[in-house]
Each structure stands twice: as C-alpha cells, then as structure tokens.
Structure 1
Amino acid sequence: MHIKWTALAQTAGFSFGITVAVVAVFALGILALSRREATLSAREGASGNGGKPALLAGAYACFGLCAAAVVYGLVLIAAP
C-alpha cells in the first residue's frame, strides 16, 4: 500500500482553505445584518424608512455564496 502524501496534503490544505473562506463570508453576512440592524435602531426616532438596502443585499449575497458552496460540496460527495 502506497500513500500519496502530497495529494493528501493538497486535499487537506484545499479543504482547510475553503472552510476558512466559507466561514469568513458567512461572518461578513452576519456583520452586514448587524450593521443594518444598528442603522435601523438608530433611525427609529428619525424619519428613516428602511435602513441601508445595500447591507441587506450584501448579506443575502454572502449567505447565497455559502449555500452554493455547501450544495456544491454535497454534489461532489454524492456524485456517482
């Protein structure tokens, strides 16, 4: 039995990098939502009618990227 250590190390490094990237993108989505919520609560007494829509769109984009990465991983696992 021969183990290809370089291939194993490359796979481990790639999966670690993707994991860090997905967690970072998810954290950016949470940050965008929390900043939007802070904007909405600060404008509660003022005549603001919605907070920054760009923050909400950015959060949705981040969560969409995370969902796409998870679905792609599941497709790779389940592929025949």
Structure 2
Amino acid sequence: MHIKWNALAQTAGVSFGVTVAVVTVFALGILALSRREAALTAREDGTAQAGGGGRLALAGAYACFAVCAAAVIYGLVLIAAP
C-alpha cells in the first residue's frame, strides 16, 4: 500500500483552511446580531445616534449566515457526488 503524503497534506490543509474560514464568518454573523441588539437597546433607551445601524447589522448577519449555509451545502454536494 502506497500513501500519497502530498495529497494527504493538501487535503488536510484545505480542510483546515475552509473550517477556519466558515467558523470566522459564522462568528462575524453572531457579532453582527449582537451589534443589532445593542443598537435596538440604545434606540429604546434614547441614547441611539441617527442612522440605520440595526438594519445594516442585520443584513450583514444574514449575508454571513448565507455564506456559511452555502459552504455546508457545497460540502454535502461534494460528498454525495458520484
């Protein structure tokens, strides 16, 4: 049996890189949701500044979660491909 160490190292490196990227994007989505919550709380308290920070944060969170979902679906397609 012959192990192709180069291919194994490439697969491990790409897997690690994609995992770190997806986790980072997901964390940014969570951060955007917390910023939106802070903006809504500030608006209720009357300390909010003018602007649409809550809407922008929500759009950013949706974008981050959509990227994560796309990466997961792409991975499942790769696994299920003949």
Letter of the 2:20 partner, please give it.
V
Unaligned runs of 5+ in 2: none
How many residue pairs get aligned? The number is 79
Say which of 68, 71, 81 aligns to 1:69: 71
Shift of 1:52: 2.1
Unaligned runs of 5+ in 1: none
Identity of aligned residues (%): 79
- Name the CA distance, whole Å, in 2 between partners of 1:45 and 1:59: 23
Question: After TM superposition, which residue ranges in structure 1, 4 or more long, deviate above 3 angstroms?
Answer: none
The structure carrying a bigger helix percent of its residues is: 2
- Name the CA distance, whole Å, in 2 between partners of 1:43 and 1:51: 10
CA-to-partner distance for each residue in 1:45-68, whole Å, 9 max, x for gaps?
33x7x7521110000000000000
Q: Please, what TM-score do these two structures have when normalized by structure 1? A: 0.92
Q: Please, what TM-score do these two structures have when normalized by structure 2? A: 0.89
- Name the CA distance, whole Å, in 2 between partners of 1:6 and 1:51: 47
1:29-68 → structure 2 map (5 Å cutoff): 29-46=29-46, 52-68=54-70
Shift of 1:42: 1.2
